[in-house]
Amino acid sequence: MERSGDDGTLGGLGELAVLERITRRLPAAQGALLGPGDDAAVVAAPDGRFVTTTDLMVHGPDFRLAWSSGHDLGWKIAAANLADVAAMGAVPSGLLVGLAAPTSTPIALLEAIADGLRDACEALAPGCGVVGGDLSASASLTLAVTAFGDLEGRAPVRRDGASPGQVVAVAGPLGRAALGLRLLFSEGVDGSGEPDAALASRLRERHPSWVGAQLAPQPPIAAGRAAALAGATAMLDLSDGLALDARRVIRASGVGIDLAAAAVRALAPQVADGLELALAGGEDHSLLAVLPDGAELPHGFTRIGRTVPGDELTVDGAPVDLSGWDPYAGWDGGVG
């Protein structure tokens, strides 16, 4: 029941009414035996195991409300978690959603977030849905999602299975989200450097594939299962940039990786520094996979290099000194 002082905000509506408004917009999970409404959900685990992962988005370091709509936020946090499940070679099966927001937050924003969660699940991982979650009050809008996945009887594809002489391939674009973020910070701000909604909207209209890739990425979720079936020996989600994430495979597997500059550049925005954007830019949520030499690449994957003896990341044989996204680097706690 809505409060008599309902002003369209979370504080005016109260928790029960907010939950009712949000829950009816969320997608159901096919594997849910008991969904939202009880103390906990019950979800089927067909092969006796769950792949599980979690991701957190905080206003300021992870998104700006002046740039992202509620739909964008729901879509993006769903996509990030679905990509992590896919990177293990699993099929996403359910999401748990936690949200904390100021009491002055309009309920319309939370409804839009719920719509984004629903639309991302339906578009990227049909059959996956929201099985439960939690609401709380906080000074800053924060979203947290935990995702579950089904391995369908297969072994998980880890980061430590690559060996020298194998093929390195990518499904999805490289560097688009990074270029979108650069454009937002350079052209989506007002004269004082503050994020501006109108400028960001016009920027998105002019560069939908770049700005859209940052605000609402579309990772190739089905490609994770396809790579696992093709015999992938290592795989991960490219959330922090190709250079940094490739080094994670290098450290875990004890191999080197040599990337082909032309192949990487072909997947990057066609701008002067496209190769650097592809290597150092994050948040595309594409999938990087290592497959046995001679294996047929699954649909959607492009060969970009090979694993080699050693422990270095190189491009055309030359060492790479670029890194990628680190949430703690330079962060001073301001929203700025």
What residues form the annotated binding site for ATP? 133-134, 159, 239
| Paired residues of 130 in beta bridges | 95
Backbone angles phi, psi at 287, to 5 degrees: -110, 130
Instruction: Tell me whether strands 129-137 and 91-101 are parallel, antiparallel or unpaired.
Output: parallel
State the virtual CA torsion across 263, 265, 266, 272 in degrees, nearest 10.
Answer: -160
Residue 102 one-letter amino acid? P
Q: Which of 87, 46, 127 is nearest to 239 (CA)?
A: 87
What span, in angstroms and rounded, lies between the C-alpha atoms of 318 and 298? 28
> Known binding site for Mg(2+): residues?
39, 53-55, 84, 134, 237, 240
Residue 166 one-letter amino acid? Q
What span, in angstroms and rounded, lies between the C-alpha atoms of 246 and 306? 11
> Known binding site: residues?
39, 53-55, 62, 84, 133-134, 159, 237, 239-240, 283, 325
Orientation of helix 197-206 relative to helix 176-187, angle to 10°: 140
> Known binding site for substrate: residues?
62, 283, 325
Continuous segment of H or E residues that includes residue 57 = strand 51-58
User: Following DSSP, what letter does each residue of 160-200 receive, concatenated?
Assistant: S---TT-EEEEES-SSHHHHHHHHHHHHSB-TTS-B-HHHH
